[in-house]
């Protein structure tokens, strides 16, 4: 049975909203797409509640369809960890809070996701390697609790794992370079798990490009998908000239088509993040 939902990708300055309908295992159709010029920065500012209310009003247009939220803050903090391989999502969250207590001040001001990494032959079978990603709790927490949204939101996550999960169902690796104003990330995934994940905070364009060139220089990948709000043409040209990899924009996966009002929609970073979030949710068992 097909499932439909609304997926929102919220970064610092914009929010991209897509309407998505599943069409088989790990496939779907984007039927609507729009981007508004407010994001996390406006939602945590002095008029934050009003901005979140505007988002809630937009989402009510789709007659109470479930909503999935992808969050992309300016930066995150990462921490490697090992959890029991059989840990439930509730236990993983509790373990994440314990790790946060050692790693952060004012734990209640932070939220976190834990992303499983692919197992290796030398890993103990009873444990599972994770990367815990910490990000400011606000305004994501206020979005969760907003009147009209609190009953609609079925999932919320940082955008990293949904993009990693684009490789679900295939053994072909996908290398992704993500460039943002305050960080750069590089990861390789296959079968829905990250084989490799690196994240670097950066202060400027030079640091961002240094990270990219360093990672691509040791990557066992001939093609690298590029995404992020700082992935401009000039930077890509310099990075490509200094590496042996072919750089291509990260677009919609082949199993996603467009219809209706989404026809002709520009495939921006926000659209890719929203569609990735939608695919992750509709590909998961209901409930």
Backbone angles phi, psi at 129, to 5 degrees: -75, 140
Please tell me the distance from the alpha carbon of residue 142 to that of residue 30, in angstroms, as a whole number: 27
- The packing angle between helices 205-218 and 233-241, to 10°, is 40
- Comparing CA positions, the residue from 248, 279, 249 lying closest to residue 267 is 249
Please tell me the distance from the alpha carbon of residue 277 to that of residue 227, in angstroms, as a whole number: 15
Identify whether the C-beta of residue 190 lies closer than 8 Å to the C-beta of residue 170. Answer: yes
- Per-residue pLDDT 10s for the chain (287 aa) are 678 899 999 999 999 999 999 887 778 999 999 999 999 999 997 889 999 999 998 888 887 789 999 999 999 999 999 999 999 989 999 999 999 999 999 999 999 999 999 988 888 899 999 999 999 999 999 999 988 787 889 999 999 999 999 999 888 999 999 999 999 999 999 999 999 999 999 999 999 999 999 999 988 888 999 999 999 999 999 999 999 899 999 999 988 999 988 988 999 999 999 999 999 998 875 43
Region class of 188: left (phi > 0), else alpha (psi between -120 and 50), else beta: beta
| HSE-CB of 5 using CA atoms within 13 angstroms | 25
| Bridge partners (DSSP) listed for residue 77 | 134
């Amino acid at each position: 049975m097909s499932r439909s939902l609304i997926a929102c990708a919220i970064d610092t300055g914009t929010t991209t909203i897509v309407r998505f309908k599943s069409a088989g295992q790990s496939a779907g159709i984007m039927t609507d797409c729009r981007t508004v010029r407010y994001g996390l920065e406006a939602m945590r500012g002095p008029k934050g509640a009003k901005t979140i209310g505007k988002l809630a009003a937009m989402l009510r247009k789709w007659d109470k369809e479930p909503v999935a939220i992808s969050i992309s803050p300016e930066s995150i903090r990462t921490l490697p960890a090992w959890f029991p391989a059989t840990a439930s999502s509730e236990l993983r969250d509790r373990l994440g809070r314990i790790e946060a207590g050692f790693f952060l001040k004012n734990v209640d001001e932070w939220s976190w996701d834990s992303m499983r990494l692919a197992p290796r032959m030398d890993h103990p079978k009873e444990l599972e390697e994770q990367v815990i990603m910490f990000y400011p709790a606000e305004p994501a927490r206020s979005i969760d609790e907003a009147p009209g949204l609190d009953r609609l939101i079925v999932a919320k996550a940082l955008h990293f794992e949904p993009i990693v999960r684009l490789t679900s169902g295939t053994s072909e690796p996908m290398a992704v370079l993500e460039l943002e104003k305050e960080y750069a990330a590089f990861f390789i995934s296959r079968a829905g798990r990250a084989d490799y994940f690196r994240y670097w905070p950066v202060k400027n364009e030079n640091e961002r490009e240094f990270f990219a060139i360093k990672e691509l220089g040791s990557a066992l990948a001939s093609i690298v998908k590029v995404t992020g709000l700082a992935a401009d043409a000039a930077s890509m040209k310099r990075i490509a000239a200094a590496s042996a990899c072919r750089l291509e924009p990260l677009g919609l996966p082949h199993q996603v088509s467009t219809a209706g009002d989404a026809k002709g929609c520009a495939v921006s970073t926000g659209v890719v993040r929203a569609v990735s979030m939608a695919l992750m949710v509709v590909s998961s068992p209901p409930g």
